């Protein structure tokens, strides 16, 4: 018997973490993601699986608690929304440098600054192009449904430990707040069986001390560490690209969109096809690694691309990189927490791409 529940996106990612065998969650309230910790506190995962849930004094403390716990080999998660994720960037860079696995959930809201509490996708640059200091990458998963919010917790831990790197679940206030049917998977064991030889659990006589750090004052060694990281990121880029297409087989035009914008585009496709416009969707699921080759191949079959994102135009840069600017590609989006309607999206396709030669 499948276990099916009606849940909010924020609740689903929390339940997903419990069932994926998470050991700990550290977080700080911020709209529109507070339900993640609220749900965890209500659920008493300490009784269910032994999972620790702690409300920290700030996002800065949360990410550093994550660092400490992850450094002992535990499966850990935090969540926040844009301004809080900005506060965490220092710690995220440290975790990437120290090669610590974890899940970070960003339920994006409109910015810049304190901005608004409404949905946005304007943290694309922050997540995929750095965010913190130094040369590092985050694996970024962009769920477009409440089901994926649940599923990506498990997938996120799998990838985080496979590559010993932080994984960002990059979603937005719309997916976080909306309710949908979720099919729940079974509880996984909390005690993980991965290689813990690197973790700080107390030095035993049979091994040398383990140290978790991102510091090496010897530049030649630090460069070697950077080369090692880059190799790892290349491996991720080669193996972990995820995307999906929708109505793209006969498409003459493509929407490229992720997360909630991909949902809006699906409706715009319906409206467009009713008017005879053959339009499809290319949806990156991993924002990094971005599906460069796959988008290039898809773009070769169409006349133009409209990148739809609730931003001033961030992902469009990767669309242009992927297509090497060989195809007409424009951005359409709303900002500051405004959500585009399917009608607006279709109109933008008609004006900017179909009619706009």
Partner 1 sequence: MDIKDIIKPENLVYKKTDHMTDKVLSYCPGCGHGTAHRILMEVIDEMGVRADTIGVAPVGCSVLAYDFMNIDMQGAAHGRAPAVATGIKRCWPDKFVFTYQGDGDLAAIGTAETIHACNRGENITILFINNGIYGMTGGQMAPTTLEGMRTTTSPYGRDLESMGNPIKITELIANLPGVHYVTRQAVHTPRYVRRTKKAIFKAFDIQKNKKGLSFVEIVSNCNSGWKMTPNQSNIWMEDNMFPYYPLGDIKVDGKIINE
Site residues for partner 1 per CB under 8 A = 23-24, 26, 52, 54, 56-58, 60-62, 64-72, 74, 76, 90-91, 94, 98, 200-205, 209-215, 217
* 113 neighbors 145 (Cβ within 8 angstroms): no
Nearest approach, Cβ of residue 281 and partner 1 (Å): 40
* CB environment 110-129: b (16+ within 10 A), e (fewer): bbeeebbbbbbbbbbebbbe
Backbone angles phi, psi at 76, to 5 degrees: -130, 150
Give dist(CA 48, CA 37) in Å, integer: 15
Nearest approach, Cβ of residue 42 and partner 1 (Å): 19
Closest by Cα among 234, 257, 235 to 246: 257
Closest by Cα among 103, 86, 141, 134 to 17: 103
Give dist(CA 223, CA 237) in Å, integer: 21
Question: Tokens at residue 88, please?
Answer: 């965490």
Nearest approach, Cβ of residue 200 and partner 1 (Å): 4
Nearer to partner 1, 23 or 172 (CB): 23
Nearest approach, Cβ of residue 47 and partner 1 (Å): 16
Nearer to partner 1, 94 or 163 (CB): 94
Nearest approach, Cβ of residue 348 and partner 1 (Å): 43
Question: Tokens at residue 312, please?
Answer: 């001033």
Nearer to partner 1, 56 or 117 (CB): 56
* Burial degree of 251 (CB within 10 A; 0-12, 13-18, 19+): buried
Nearer to partner 1, 70 or 149 (CB): 70
Give dist(CA 339, CA 337) in Å, integer: 6
Nearer to partner 1, 200 or 245 (CB): 200
Nearer to partner 1, 65 or 251 (CB): 65
């Amino acid at each position: 018997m499948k276990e099916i529940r009606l849940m909010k996106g924020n609740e689903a990612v929390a339940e997903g973490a419990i069932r994926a065998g998470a050991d700990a969650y550290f977080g700080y309230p911020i709209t529109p993601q507070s339900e993640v910790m609220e749900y965890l506190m209500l659920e008493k995962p300490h009784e269910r699986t032994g999972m620790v849930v702690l409300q920290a004094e700030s996002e800065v403390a949360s990410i550093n608690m994550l660092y400490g716990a992850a450094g002992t080999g535990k499966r850990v998660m935090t969540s926040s929304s844009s301004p809080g994720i900005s506060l965490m960037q220092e710690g995220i860079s440290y975790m990437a440098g120290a090669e610590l696995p974890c899940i970070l959930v960003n339920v994006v809201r409109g910015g810049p600054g304190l901005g608004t509490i409404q949905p946005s996708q304007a943290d694309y640059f922050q997540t995929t192009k750095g965010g913190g200091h130094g040369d590092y990458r985050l694996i970024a998963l962009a769920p477009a449904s409440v089901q994926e919010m649940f599923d990506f917790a498990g997938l996120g831990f799998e990838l985080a430990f496979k590559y010993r790197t932080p994984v960002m679940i990059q979603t937005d206030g719309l997916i976080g707040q909306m309710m949908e049917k979720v099919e729940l998977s079974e509880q996984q064991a909390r005690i993980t069986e991965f290689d813990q030889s690197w973790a700080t659990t107390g030095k035993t006589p049979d091994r040398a001390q383990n140290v978790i750090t991102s510091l090496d004052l010897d530049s030649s060694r630090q460069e070697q560490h950077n080369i090692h990281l880059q190799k790892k990121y290349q491996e991720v880029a080669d193996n972990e690209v995820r995307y999906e297409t929708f109505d793209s087989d006969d498409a003459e035009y493509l929407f490229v969109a992720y997360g909630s914008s991909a949902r809006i585009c699906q409706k715009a496709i319906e409206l467009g096809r009713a008017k005879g416009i053959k339009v499809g969707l290319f949806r990156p699921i991993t924002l990094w690694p971005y599906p460069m080759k796959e988008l290039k191949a898809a773009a070769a079959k169409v006349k133009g691309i409209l990148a739809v994102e609730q931003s001033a135009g961030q992902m469009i840069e990767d669309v242009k990189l992927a297509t090497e600017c060989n195809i007409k590609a424009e951005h359409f989006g709303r900002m500051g927490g405004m959500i585009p309607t399917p009608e607006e999206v279709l109109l933008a396709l008609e004006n900017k791409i179909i009619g706009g030669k």
